[in-house]
Amino acid sequence: MEQKNKKLIAQNKKAYHDYFIEETYQCGIALTGTEVKSLRAGRCNLKDSYVVIEKNEAIIRGMHISPYDFGNIFNHDPLADRKLLLHRYEINKLIGAVTRDGYTIVPLKIYFSGSLVKVDIGVAKGKKLYDKRADIAKKDQKREAEREFREKFK
């Protein structure tokens, strides 16, 4: 199968900081025309969004898509709940994962795959404060080692 071109719209960096991502799924999303036009302009925020399963449907909440500038009275609500398009067996796996203690579903990134809008969601377990501190310490060590390496070979 040929690789379609992917254009990243938004990424949820906070999710990687606050959670251990255990599994990821790629899914479609049901959108209106003005939402797609706004996404083409890159006006989306995933920061405080999350995914819930209601009536055997995956729904993304808290995702902010700014209103389209040239829209009319039929422009969309920026914080509306949007349906994610997943297969039944994937939804069943997500239900099983969320019933475990401490697990949640978070959107990781939203992008165009060809002309379609796709969302990567992840089954995540919350990090404790000391886990976050350890990650920050690792990043600092890596940054310092790269800086020394660059200075050594100048």
Q: Give me the domains of the chain, ranges plus CATH numbers.
A: 6-127 (2.40.280.10)
- Residue 93: count of CB within 10 angstroms of its CB: 15
Which of 55-64, 73-82, 120-129 is predicted with the least confidence, judged by mean pLDDT?
A: 73-82
Mean pLDDT of 57-83: 83
CA–CA distance, 153 with 151 (Å, rounded to integer): 6
Looking from the CA of 26 toward its CB, the CA atoms found within 13 Å total 7
Report residue 59's pLDDT band, with 50, 70 and 90 as the boundaries. very high
**Residue 102 backbone zone (phi > 0: left; psi -120 to 50: alpha; other: beta):** left
Report residue 3's pLDDT band, with 50, 70 and 90 as the boundaries. low
Q: Pick the closest to residue 30 from 80, 91, 66 (CA basis).
A: 80
117, 110 contact by CB (below 8 A) = yes
- Residue 117: count of CB within 10 angstroms of its CB: 19
What is the rounded average pLDDT for all residues in the chain? 85
